[in-house]
């Protein structure tokens, strides 16, 4: 039994139906800032049913994704095939999954909420996994989201803050770093004004 078993069961159930829980269009923040990401190779963390990976593959990037769930990865592959793009989608537990060293021109993390100890360790590995000049893009809910009923985790420790991310990602150069509110209508899973933190940060070199 691994620490991720309960999360896996919950997400497998959520992704088990026919539809796409967060829709098939990309996350709004990623869609807006995609031109700031380098071309080349990109890894999407906790990519769910594949909407963001399929979008980035359509921009010509060598696109890889990891998610905890078999159902999410199967849907990622299906959506990529339907759209005629290639995504290298893998099942993996990011608590232990090897994301490599100086491997990626960009790493993308959209609503990849995990327990704090897993997240902190993963972010340290993201820094290592980026190539010099590589860019990390993240959007996540903040503690202000709790109780709004518009999506996101219900445990404050699973959310993220800008101060926490500045600490966890020390060594990267932040080019966009805000806590804000925005209207997020992305499938049935995210359904209204949400409190988010957004980061775009570059590895020096
Ligand atoms: C809110 S969904 C976001 C999905 C996708 N990034 C999107 O924006 O559509 C959170 C995702 O985190 C994944 N996840 C949670 N814990 C994980 C872990 N330890 N390793 C890999 N993926 C994980 C879940 O399977 C789920 O797909």
DSSP-assigned letter for residue 27: P
User: Is ligand 1 within 6 A of the CB of residue 4?
Assistant: yes
Q: Is residue 7 predicted with pLDDT exceeding 60?
A: yes
Percentage of the chain surpassing pLDDT 70? Answer: 99
For the CA of 97, the nearest atom of ligand 1: 20
Q: Is the CB of 29 under 6 A from ligand 1?
A: no
* Strand partners for 49: none
Mean pLDDT of 109-121: 98
Ligand 1: does its nearest atom lie under 6 Å from the Cβ of 65?
Answer: no
Rounded mean pLDDT of 115-119? 98
Q: What is the pLDDT of residue 93?
A: 98
- The mean per-residue pLDDT over the stretch 22-35 comes to 97
DSSP string, 136-202: EEEEEE-GGGTTSSSSS-SSGGGS--HHHHHHHTBTBEEEEEEEEEEEEEETTTEEEEEEEEEEEEE
Q: What is the pLDDT of residue 1?
A: 52
| Residue 69: how many other CB atoms lie within 10 Å | 24
**Which pLDDT does position 99 carry in this prediction?**
98
Measured distance CA(140)–CA(159) in Å, rounded: 7
Quote the CA–CA distance of 162 and 178 in Å, as a whole number: 7
Report whether residue 22 contacts ligand 1, using a CB cutoff of 6 Å: yes
Q: Is the CB of 105 under 6 A from ligand 1?
A: no
165 alpha carbon – ligand 1 mean position (Å): 18
Find out whether the beta carbon of 186 lies less than 6 Å from any atom of ligand 1.
Answer: no
- State whether the beta carbon of 68 lies less than 6 angstroms from ligand 1: yes
Q: What distance in angstroms lies between residue 93's CA and the mean position of ligand 1's atoms?
A: 10
The pTM of this model reads 0.98
| Ligand 1 atom at minimal distance to the Cα of residue 8 | 25
Whether the CB of 95 sits within 6 Å of ligand 1: yes
Instruction: Give the number of the atom of ligand 1 that is nearest the alpha carbon of residue 27.
Output: 8
Average pLDDT over residues 96-123: 98
Structural domains in the chain? 5-202 (3.40.50.150)
Of the listed ranges 3-12, 43-52, 91-100, the one predicted with least confidence: 3-12
Q: What is the pLDDT of residues 35-55, one digit of tens each?
A: 999 999 999 999 999 999 999
DSSP line for 79-94: HHHHHT--EEEEE--T
Q: What is the pLDDT of residue 177?
A: 98
Mean pLDDT calculated for residue range 7-34: 96
CA distance 84 to 66: 20
What pLDDT does residue 23 have?
96
Per-residue pLDDT for 14 more than 80? yes
**203 ligand 1 Cβ < 6 A:** no
pLDDT-derived band of residue 71, with 50, 70 and 90 as boundaries?
very high
Distance 48 CA to ligand 1 centre (A): 5
194 is written with which tokens?
A: 């949400």
- Select from 191, 193, 139 the least CA-distant residue to 23: 191
Check if the beta carbon of residue 42 is closer than 8 Å to that of residue 52. no
């Amino acid at each position: 039994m691994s620490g991720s078993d309960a999360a896996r069961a919950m997400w497998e159930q959520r992704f088990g139906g026919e539809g796409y829980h967060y829709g098939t269009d990309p996350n709004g923040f990623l869609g807006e800032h995609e031109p700031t990401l380098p071309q080349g190779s990109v890894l999407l963390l906790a990519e769910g049913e594949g909407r963001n990976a399929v979008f980035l593959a359509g921009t010509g990037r060598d696109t890889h994704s990891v998610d905890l769930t078999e159902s999410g990865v199967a849907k990622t592959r299906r959506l990529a095939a339907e759209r005629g793009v290639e995504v290298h989608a893998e099942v993996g537990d990011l608590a232990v999954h090897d994301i490599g060293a100086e491997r990626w021109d960009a790493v993308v993390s959209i609503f990849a909420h995990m327990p704090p100890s897993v997240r902190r360790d993963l972010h340290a590995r993201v820094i290592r996994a980026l190539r010099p000049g590589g860019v990390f893009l993240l959007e996540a809910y903040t503690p202000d989201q709790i109780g709004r009923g518009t999506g996101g985790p219900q445990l404050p420790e699973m959310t993220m803050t800008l101060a926490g991310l500045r600490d966890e990602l020390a060594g990267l150069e932040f080019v966009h770093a805000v806590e804000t509110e925005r209207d997020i209508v992305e499938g049935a899973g995210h359904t209204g004004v949400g409190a988010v933190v957004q980061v775009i940060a570059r590895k020096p070199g």
